[in-house]
Structure 1
């Protein structure tokens, strides 16, 4: 069993009611593993922040800067803010759950047969270019795939 992912600088503690309210407000259902992650961390900077990218030419790795949460005093760190800002750019059925050190987002599929899968969205791709890359079939597998190096944040 993989070590749980620790984060720091996450938002204030959440309750299951906070998550239900978010889901109802946005008409979506979050996977249980992602809800559990939010209840434990409410986003934040992950200690294991490196991920491998397959298919994105010239960019075999990415670094997660921050997982979004709820009720964070910093507006741009919130799931709802990012949903609103990127709703016309990120494909329907995906929600941005984290950001890289650039404009790219880590997205969670919340609809259809791929619900629960995690994708990398390339925010720099032109409208006629591919901008979505599969990372994992589910959130738990995604977290297990993350690695750390000497530049990764330290939580202790």
Structure 2
């Protein structure tokens, strides 16, 4: 029998976050994926460098790939330094890859990387989300909701 999956991922050190994704997309389901990195990429991430703001994930040839993620060159690297925006392979189970491919192909969803982090064992992981894009009126509604929650906090703080 398979082990039950944890609902919250074990994030020890978050390196990069995609904060705009919660505003731009309706997030449906989350996945934790390993990421295949070169040595200097791991070192750059451990120094806290990296950005996934404009990146996305895709499934091609039965494999998942992280595209357009920027991990800058390691400052103390030599001629073996890595290319900053190369596509990086995501390490997922085949069943998960097939599920993601089906959702992207049939339902018109996108794969958004939410964060890159190191787990408790020191492995670099990527948190992926299956997402649907928001329309303009949905974005306005989420802004109104966020402002109202902020105002509620102010009112409760002033009265209580």
Same fold (TM over 0.5): no
Q: Which has the higher contact order (CA 8 A, sep 6+)?
A: 2
Task: Return the TM-score normalized by structure 1.
Answer: 0.24
| Between structures 1 and 2, the one with greater strand share | 2
| Between structures 1 and 2, the one with greater helix share | 2
Which structure is larger by alpha-carbon Rg, 1 or 2?
A: 2
Task: Return the TM-score normalized by structure 2.
Answer: 0.24
